């Protein structure tokens, strides 16, 4: 297997035989995951592509977080 670059997505199969992904930072810590299993590899890859395209999404804070900014 080739040396894996970081950060990168890793697709794996869980205990139920479903596909999942996780995004690992340059220190190999998991910084995001699929949150659910996918029946097909294509659906899993589609989930990754949605995250890759999400760079322009706004960031929202819960009220408790906003209160700490005050």
- pLDDT tens digits in sequence order for the chain, 70 residues long: 679 999 999 999 999 999 999 999 999 999 999 999 999 999 999 999 999 998 878 888 889 998 898 7
Tokens of 4: 């894996």
User: So what's the pLDDT on residue 55?
Assistant: 81
Would you state the CATH architecture of domain 8-57?
2-Layer Sandwich (3.30)
User: So what's the pLDDT on residue 1?
Assistant: 60
Q: Which residue in the block uniquely carries the two structure tokens 């992904």?
A: 21
User: So what's the pLDDT on residue 43?
Assistant: 98
Number of other residues whose CB lies within 10 A of the CB of residue 19: 19
Question: How open is the CA angle 6-10-16, to the nearest 5 degrees?
Answer: 160
């Amino acid at each position: 297997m080739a040396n894996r670059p970081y950060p990168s997505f890793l697709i794996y199969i869980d205990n139920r035989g479903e596909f999942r992904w996780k995004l690992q930072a340059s220190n190999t810590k998991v910084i995001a995951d699929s949150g659910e299993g996918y029946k097909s590899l294509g659906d899993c890859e589609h989930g990754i592509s949605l995250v890759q395209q999400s760079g322009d999404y706004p960031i929202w804070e819960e009220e408790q977080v906003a209160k700490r900014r005050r």
